[in-house]
Amino acid sequence: MTLIIIGVIVVVIALVVIAMYNGLVRLNQQAEEAWSDITVQLKRRVDLIPNLVNTVKGYASHEKTVFEDVTKARASVVNAQGVADTAKADEQKRGDRRQNGEPAEPRIVFAVHFQKERPLRCSQRSLADGKFISP
C-alpha cells in the first residue's frame, strides 16, 4: 500500500515538473516571438523614414513656392492703384493658386502629403502601445 502511495506521489510530482517545464517553454516562445515582432516593426520604421524625409522635403519646397507666390501677390495688391487694379490683382492671386492645382486651403495640401506616411505612424503606435509585451 505504501508503495502505491509513493508511486502516485512520484507520478504527481513528475506531472507537475513536466507542466512547469512546458509553461516555461511556452513563455520563452512568447518572449522570442514578441522580440521578433519588435525587430520587424523597428526595421519597418527604419525603412519608412527616408520616405518621410522625402515627403517633408517635397512639402518644404512646395511651401517655399507658395510663400513666394503669396508674397508677390500681396505686393501686387498693396502696390495696386485704385479699386479696379486691387480687384484685378486679388483675382490674379486666387487664379494663380488654382492654376497650379493648389487647393484654396493650404492645410489640405499638408494633409494629402502626409497621408502617405500613415504606415510609419502605425509602426510607431504599435511600438508605443506595448502590444508586444505580455502583462
d(C-alpha 127, C-alpha 92), whole Å: 49
Q: Is residue 24 part of a domain?
A: no
d(C-alpha 51, C-alpha 112), whole Å: 14
Q: Is residue 20 part of a domain?
A: no
Q: Is residue 7 part of a domain?
A: no
Local confidence band at 33 (pLDDT 50, 70, 90 cut-offs): very high
Q: Is residue 13 part of a domain?
A: no
Q: Is residue 39 part of a domain?
A: no
Domains contained in the chain, number: 1
pLDDT at 122 over 70: no
The three-point CA angle 76-109-105 to 5° equals 55
Give the structural domain span for 96: 50-135
Q: Is residue 54 part of a domain?
A: yes
Residue 52 grid coordinates: 518621410
- pTM score of the predicted model: 0.45
Residue 72: CB atoms within 10 A of its CB come to: 13
Beta-carbon contacts of residue 90 (< 8 Å; ≥ 6 apart) = 73, 77
pLDDT at res. 74:
76
Q: Is residue 21 part of a domain?
A: no
Q: Is residue 17 part of a domain?
A: no
Q: Which tens digits make up the pLDDT trace of 6-25?
A: 999 999 999 999 999 999 99
